[in-house]
Every structure is written in structure tokens, then in C-alpha cells.
Chains A and B, each alone.
Chain A
């Protein structure tokens, strides 16, 4: 009697397992069947806010109306997580934003369709941005726009400390000396984000970076990087620089907007944030101060990825072509303040936004994000170290970074 129960239970289990396994097995082929004719594209974007969502949705609607296709734009709550789940569930959106830092992981996993060669005027996009999205010699996706880090100065606090236009620092030494003067006037001089995405700019200025130019060698533990971290640590130790959390804010822009510090280093997204939340703050934007090895900053970019599993390749490529067209990029620029990724639009953009010269200038010498698979947890660990920079030996930090990067790059 008992055996028959067991047999029944086992039968249940076996059927259920086979059923679910075969259900999972369907649709996993490597070359999805292509469908011609009107497509129904699902587009997942990691939007910076309502303005961006609206602009992308409108652009998608225009494309859909002009071509007779359908495109549904969905803003993600957490892009990386939602994409990870979608890939695992084997039902990814057709078109989606790809953050530069995640690009190599996705490309290596075979999640992306390398469509760069099908975009006729791909050479118009900035070389450094195309490099960011090239993997194994193939351009996988087209950068939608980009941003760089620059230096923002609060003009009121600046004047309060008796500083003038001529005092805007262009080197590390000048940065330190104006910070000392601000501090003497009772003003918190600098607020800097506690991540490699800000402090890394100083590493670039010192001539260092986390990986070599081609992204195959770990170069974290270099004297240049050490020099940069020691400079930043010195600023913190002397009370000349603080992290946003130390003054109860979430990021540099918030601290700067609340006028808690006179200088911050943020990207062009700070324009929109200040305009929305702190419209009364008066500030100017300048290029990052140069380090021992000259100018340096960081660039951030996102590309239009197309899923390797999409049934509508041609239509998806056509969609991206429309989204990165010169005409459309100008519209996006006006709608949510990003910088166009086409070098041919540079002058047109500067004519419209002359105050952004410092951001655009950074494009020439900016360092892109680390591009290698499995590097995300390594960089997160480095960030955790930077959060404790005030009490940690920079040498130890960099040694850990070096060790972990080597391990990640090796396998």
C-alpha cells in the first residue's frame, strides 16, 4: 500500500519535472526564427527620469507611426537586475539600454547582437565611446549619448571666501590651496563621491588607471594610482574634502545643491538635478584640474543593445538607427540634457549650450569605464575600500584591487 503511494508521488514528480523542463527547453535555440513585416518591439530603458522616459516614448511612437511597427517603451526600476532576470528567463526585451560597466558581461554571455557593422555612419560616433562597446574586435552596439565628469563651483560661496574667477584651480596644487582658503573662511571646500567613478578621475590625472588601455592587464597597483589616492586622502585628512554621506547627503550634487560645499566633481546630469531641486544655486562648470600627468576625467555612456534572441533583428536595427540619428539626438539633448554621441553634433551642441564646454572638452581625454567581464564585483570591492579611504592605507587598497583584477581577468 505504502509503495503504491510512493510510486504515485514519484510519478507526479517525474511528470511535473519533465513538463517544466521541456517547457523551459522550448525557445532556447541559438538562432531565433526571424519574422518579417510589422514588428512588436519591447524596449527596456534605464531612464534618468520622467523627461527621458517621455522623450524616448515619443521618439518610439514616431518611429512606429512612420514604419508601421509597434514599439513599447518600458522604464526599468533596476535595469541591471531586470535584464539579468530577463536573460535567465530567456525572454529578454528586443532593445534595451546597456550600461558600459555591464557591457562586457553581456557580450561575453552572448546576450547581445553585434550590429555595429550594419550602422552605415558608425564612424561618426566618438572613438572613445565606440571603443567602450567593442568586444573581441566587434562593435556590438551604438552609444546613445555620453557624459563626463567636470568641476562645479558655487559662485556665492566662492565670493564669500574672497576668491575670484582667476582662482579657479587648474592643477592639484591650486585645488589644494583654494580649498585651504575656503576652509579658512569656514566653508566646507570639496564634496566628492566615494567611488572610483569620481576619485578615479584623479587616478587618470596622475597617469594611472585600473586596467591597461586594451583592458587585458591589471594596473591597479601602480605608483601613479598611489599618488592619486594619497592626494585625495590628504584632502580628506585635512578636512578639505568630505564624502556626501559625511554631510548627510546622497550624492555630490545634493550636497552642492544644498550649498554645503563649494566644489564638487559631477557629470552633466548635475545640471538637470540642480535645475529641478535647487534652482537658486549659482554655479560655474570648469574642466577638472590637471594632475602630474596632465588633464584627465572619466566618461560614462550607455548604448542601445539589441537582444541576440530577438525575432525582429532588421526592425530593431532600424529602430536604433532612428534613435541615434542626428536629428533625434538633438531632440534628446534638449529634452533631458545629455551630450550627443556623434562628433559631428559637437559644434551644434556647444552653440546651444555654451556653459557645457567643460563637459564636452572632457570627451577628448576622458577615460571610459573598465571594460572586462566579471569586473563588477572587483570594482564594487574597490569602492568599499574607497569608502574607508580616510582610515585605510591606499597601498593596501590598490594591492587588493590588483589581486582581484588579475583574478577576474584570468578567468
Chain B
């Protein structure tokens, strides 16, 4: 934000001065600058860049985890590991596609839920009339600073068959499911409940046609009950962090704007939609981006709570990559999964950027055009 607001004046300045300023750095200063950043560059190179490049290399080999992957006798597999994930019918592709399906439903539910919840919480604690504001802020933020492993263990107790969640449901006469051991998909359950399909006897057109190793019926399962428990957990944990971001942005909105809009006759709802939300757009972008990246990388909760069970419905690409590499000693395929996941995250973020791109310029030109015509 800072950058964009400062950019225009710089551009308007005469070019020579800009150049002069750059060359104003003399040689010793430049060397000193490099010296100052050198430790970080070295650390990032050794612990980030080189391992990533090595992993990329491993994804093109069938290295078995013995010795260095850079030796000459490590068999080169070309695109074989990637072909196994997409093109070749087999268990690897089936597992990978199952994990993609699970994570897709996970992202579709977690990102909107946590964004809306975070915004709601931020609006709540931003109320000037609210008492004990700092207590609520701390309380809402607390899950974010607690270890995810500890939270997951607590949630396993909450969602146990005879746990608190099912206890509360029982007050209303609802018999809760066996949360962490129920592999039934949510969409399947809903479709079954409204009588569209029979869950034990899926329609042949869905069950017999397949796409990339999974039948349409499997693709359309929705998140399993077990995955829903993890979704609840994650939404509860992360919304605190994002609440903080929204809160910071909300406090940046000048009070005058609110007062002006209220004087102009806007209702609270109109103020929220027409004034506050546009002002929050950069933060919204940040929150959704971080949410997308974080949800595609979900690992700890799966590792602690379910290890992919029941019936692989909580398997995610990140966990599958770990399992394939370190437990099945199939490092090439494990690394390939990691890079496909990387590509997915990049593409999703680009799509999101495109969807949320700034369209104000075009629209205002359109408005001006219309206004001019109406006059």
C-alpha cells in the first residue's frame, strides 16, 4: 500500500534526478550494503534455495533415500514421477487425486468461513461501545498463538464419540456422528437425506464413470465428517490471526468517513458495504491469499488427528507427500507431489489476484461516460 501511494510522485519527477540519486551510492557503500545482507543471503541460499533445487532434482529421479541424490548412479526418471500422479492408472494417482479432492473441499469451506468469521470478530471487538475489549481481543487471538498440536489433541477429545460436541448435540435430541471415524462425505449425506441418491447404492452414471482414477461419485463426496471436524478446528484456530489483520485495517479507517457517510443518510449496512468493505479490500486480499496458501498446505492437524484416516478422507497432498517420501521411501514421487502442490498454490493465488483485481479505474471511466451522456 505504501509503495503504490508513493509511486506516482516519483514517476512525475524528472528522470535525471532519479538517475543521480541511484548513482549517489558509491562503491564502498554498495559493498557495505552487500556485506550487510550477505548473512541472510547465505542462510536463505543454503537452507531454502539449495534444498528446493535439490528437491526439484529428486522429483525427476527414483532416488531411494540412500546416500546423496546428486550421485551419478541415482536413476534418472524424467517425468515419470509426475506421470504417475496424473497419467498412469494406479494407487499413486488414486491416492493423489483423493488428497486433491479432500483438500479442494477443505479450501472451499475453510477460506470463506475463516474470512467471514475473522471479519465478524474484528467488527465486534472494534465497537466503541464494547466493554472489556482487550479481554475479547486476547480471547479471540489466543487460539492462534497456541501450538496446533495441542489444539488438535483438545479437539480430538471434544469430537470424541462421547465428547463435548456430541454431548451438546444430545441436548437437542441429535445423535452426533463418530466424528473422527466417519468417512461418509457431507454431500453424499445431504443428497441421501433429500432422497436424490442412495448412499449405499450410488447411481450407476456417477459410480461407473471416472475422472483421473476416481469415480464421479467419489469426486462429488464433499468433505467427510472427519474432515469437517478438522475444518471446525482450523477455522477456529486461524480466524484469530486474521481478525487481528482486519482489526488493524478497521482502525486505519478515519472516523470522519463514518460520520460523513452517516450524515449523508447511509444506514449502518450501507456504510459497511459501500464504505468499509472497499476500504478493507487490500486486507481482504491479504487474508484470502494467506488463507489459500495455508489451507493447501494443511499438515499438522492431519498428522496428529487422523493420519489420513478414516478411509483416506483426510489425506491431504502435504501429508501424502511426507508419507510417500519418508514412510514409503519413494522420495521421487513425494517430491513431485510437493512441486505439484506448489504449482497449485501459485495458480490459485494468481486466479484470486485476477478475480480481486482493481476494476475501479474502468468502472469510473464508464460512470463518467454515462454521466456525460445523461447530461
Q: Is B263 an interface residue (CB 8 A)?
A: no
* A109 and B50 contact, CB distance less than 8 A: no
Contact between B53 and A17, CB atoms less than 8 A apart = yes
Q: What is the size category of the interface that chain B forms with chain A? A: 35 or more
Min Cβ gap B104→A in Å is 19
- Interface residue? A77 (CB, 8 A): no
Is the pair B46, A16 in contact by a Cβ cutoff of 8 Å?
yes
Task: Say if the beta carbon of B312 comes within 8 Å of chain A.
Answer: yes
Task: Report B107 CB to chain A, min CB distance, Å.
Answer: 22
Select the stretch in A269-277, A295-303, A337-345, A376-384 that faces chain B.
A376-384
CB of A246 within 8 A of CB of B181, answer yes
A19: nearest chain-B partner, CB-CB: B46
Asked if B200 is at the interface of the complex by the 8 Å CB criterion, the answer is yes
Interface residue from B199, B200, B312, B326 paired with A85 (Cβ < 8 Å): B326
Question: Which of chain A's residues 65-112 have a Cβ closer than 8 Å to chain B?
Answer: 80-81, 84-85, 87-88, 90, 105-106, 108-111
- Determine if B311 and A388 form an interchain contact, defined as CB atoms under 8 angstroms apart: yes
Chain A CB within 10 Å — which of B23, B70, B161, B311 has the most? B311
Of the four ranges (under 10, 10 to 19, 20 to 34, 35 or more), the interface on chain A belongs to 35 or more
Select from chain A the residue with minimum beta-carbon distance to B322: A81
A13 contacts the other chain (Cβ, under 8 Å)?
Answer: yes
Alpha-carbon distance A21/B51, docked complex (angstroms): 10
Let me know if B324 is at the binding interface, CB within 8 A.
Answer: yes
What CA separation (Å) do A119 and B349 show in the bound complex? 59
Tell me if A20 counts as interface (CB < 8 A to partner B): yes
Query: Does B310 reach chain A (CB closer than 8 Å)?
Result: yes
CB distance from B138 to the nearest CB of A (A): 33
The answer to whether A387 and B311 touch across the interface, beta carbons within 8 angstroms, is yes
Q: Which of B41, B65, B323 neighbours the largest number of chain A CB atoms within 10 Å of its CB? A: B65
For residue A28, CB closer than 8 A to chain B, the reply is yes
Within 8 A of B (CB), among A257-308: none
B42 within 8 A of A: yes
Q: How far is the CB of A397 from chain B (nearest CB, A)?
A: 11
B65 nearest CB neighbor, chain A only: A88
Does the CB pair B68–A81 fall under 8 Å?
A: no
Contact flag A384-B312 (CB < 8 Å), given A13-B49, A111-B66: yes
Contact B183 A110 (CB under 8 A): no
What are the residues of chain B within 8 A of A120 when measuring CB–CB?
Answer: none
Whether A17 touches B162, Cβ cut-off 8 Å, given contacts A28-B68, A105-B329, A387-B183, is no
Q: Is A391 an interface position by the 8 A CB rule?
A: yes
Cα(A378)–Cα(B309), bound, Å: 15
Give residues 79-109 of B contacting A (CB, 8 Å). Answer: 90-92, 94-95
Q: A84-B329, A248-B161, A374-B330 are in contact. Are A381 and B95 (CB under 8 A)?
A: yes
How many whole Å from B65's CB to the nearest CB in chain A?
Answer: 4
A72 to B25, CA, bound (A): 58
Is B328's beta carbon under 8 Å from chain A?
yes
Interface on chain A toward B: helix, strand, loop, or mixed SS?
Answer: helix
Q: Chain A contacts of B94 at CB under 8 A?
A: 381
State how many angstroms separate the Cβ of A291 from the closest Cβ of chain B: 26
Q: Is B241 an interface residue (CB 8 A)?
A: no
What are the residues of chain B within 8 A of A384 when measuring CB–CB?
309-312
Is B66's CB under 8 angstroms from A109's CB?
yes
Q: Which residue of A lies closest to B58 (CB)?
A: A88
Instruction: Indicate whether B67 reaches chain A with its CB closer than 8 angstroms.
Output: yes
Question: Which residue on chain B has the smallest CB distance to residue A243?
Answer: B181
Q: Which of B41, B95, B178 contacts A245 (CB 8 A)?
A: B178
The answer to whether A12 and B183 have CB atoms under 8 Å apart is: no
Bound Cα distance A388, B323 (Å): 22
CA distance A384 to B306 in the complex (A): 12
Asked if A87 contacts B65 (CB within 8 A), the reply is: yes
Beta-carbon contact of B181 and A87 below 8 Å? no
CB-contacts of B25-64 with A (<8 A): 34, 38, 41-42, 45-46, 49-50, 53, 64
Q: CB of A169 within 8 A of chain B?
A: no
- CB neighbours (8 Å) of B23 from chain A are 1
**Complex formed: what's the CA distance from A16 to B49 in Å?**
10
What sequence of 0s and 1s flags, for each residue 175-186 of chain B, a beta carbon within 8 Å of any chain A beta carbon?
Answer: 000101101000
Cα of A374 to Cα of B90 in the assembled complex, Å: 13
A84 touches B68 (CB 8 A): no
Q: Are A90 and B45 CB-contacts (below 8 A) given A245-B178, A246-B178, A377-B91?
A: no
Q: Which residues of B lie under 8 Å from residue A88 when comparing CB positions?
A: 65-66, 326, 331
For the complex, what is the distance from the CA of A21 to the CA of B71, rounded to whole Å? 10
- Structural contact, B90 and A407, CB atoms closer than 8 A: yes
Which residues from chain B contact A9 at a C-beta distance below 8 Å?
Answer: 41
Q: Which residues of B contact A391 (CB under 8 A)?
A: 199-200
Do A245 and B45 touch across chains, with their CB atoms under 8 A apart? Answer: no
Q: For residue A405, which residue of chain B has the nearest CB?
A: B91
22 contacts between A and B (CB under 8 A): A12-B41, A12-B42, A13-B49, A21-B50, A24-B70, A25-B68, A25-B71, A87-B329, A88-B65, A88-B66, A105-B328, A106-B329, A109-B64, A245-B181, A247-B161, A248-B161, A248-B178, A374-B328, A376-B327, A381-B94, A381-B95, A384-B310
Q: Give the 5 A-B CB pairs with smallest separation, nearest first.
A: A245-B181, A248-B161, A84-B326, A28-B67, A16-B45
Supplied contacts A88-B331, A377-B92, A377-B324, 18 more A-B pairs, CB within 8 Å? A12-B41, A12-B42, A16-B50, A17-B50, A17-B53, A80-B326, A81-B326, A84-B327, A88-B66, A105-B329, A110-B66, A246-B181, A247-B161, A376-B327, A377-B91, A384-B310, A404-B90, A407-B91
